[in-house]
């Protein structure tokens, strides 16, 4: 496996290995994410091949999609997240992999979903990863994306008690890159979400639903 994105001098894999299942508790029931999953379930054919990038504990994304009868593969840089996901969501497959170096199979996927994994890397890597994920969407397929938008590069913060370095792109830049990669954005919106926990602060989330023409 390649070098993980660096967060506050530590790799993202190390940080998420320590966060583990607590992530699911702090970021539970995110309305925009649940709506994006409902959209995927409604627009995909039975048995669709779905890639969940940054699959975390497997919940809610991989679990919801697997229950809908899709063939789901989740990838995550954290070995601990992969371990937890395999225990909690036996109906999907999970691999430890980095979105920046992951190789999609020929033909790609009927859908790719990505809920907040691109923040813990450098800004050019965010753009490249977004383009890579878009390229994995097969003709007629779909992409569901969620992130914290902003023209941010190398910002040091404390997240869930851990020092991390985050980067992102503005909402218009996310849309531009997806459209440049041949996807049609069919819906996007921003919403404020307050994670669970006494030290959690509200976050602005960007949600994008996109399709590749058949």
Read off the pLDDT of residues 152-166 as tens digits, 9 standing for 90 and up: 999 988 877 778 888
Give CA separation, 43 vs 36, 40, 68, 146, in Å: 11, 5, 12, 18
Which has the higher per-residue pLDDT, 11 or 47?
47
Q: Is the pLDDT of residue 109 over 90?
A: yes
Average pLDDT over residues 68-77: 97
| Residue 86 · residue 79 · CB < 8 Å | no
The pLDDT assigned to 97 comes to 97
Read off the pLDDT of residues 148-201 as tens digits, 9 standing for 90 and up: 999 999 998 887 777 888 899 999 999 999 999 999 999 999 999 888 777 778
The structure's pTM equals 0.89
Determine the angle formed by the axes of helices 12-19 and 79-88, rounding to 10 degrees. 40
Read off the pLDDT of residues 126-152 as tens digits, 9 standing for 90 and up: 999 999 999 999 999 999 999 999 999
């Amino acid at each position: 496996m390649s070098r993980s994105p660096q967060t506050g001098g530590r790799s993202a894999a190390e940080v998420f290995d320590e966060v583990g299942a607590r992530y699911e508790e702090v970021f539970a029931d995110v309305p925009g994410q649940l709506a994006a999953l409902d959209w995927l379930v409604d627009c995909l054919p039975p048995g669709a091949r779905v890639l969940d990038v940054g699959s975390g504990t497997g919940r809610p994304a991989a679990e919801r999609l697997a229950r809908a009868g899709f063939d789901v593969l989740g990838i995550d840089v954290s070995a601990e997240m992969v371990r937890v996901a395999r225990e909690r969501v036996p109906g999907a497959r999970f691999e430890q992999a980095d979105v920046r170096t992951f190789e999609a199979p020929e033909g790609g996927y009927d859908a790719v979903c990505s809920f907040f994994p691109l923040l813990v890397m450098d800004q050019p890597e965010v753009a490249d990863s977004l383009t890579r994920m878009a390229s994995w969407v097969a003709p007629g397929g779909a992409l569901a994306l969620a992130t914290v938008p902003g023209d941010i590069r190398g910002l040091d913060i404390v997240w869930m008690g851990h020092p991390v370095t985050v980067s992102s792109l503005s909402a218009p830049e996310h849309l531009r890159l997806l459209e440049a990669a041949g996807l049609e954005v069919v819906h996007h919106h921003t919403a404020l979400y307050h994670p669970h926990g006494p030290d959690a602060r509200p976050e602005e989330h960007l949600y994008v639903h996109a399709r590749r023409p058949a």
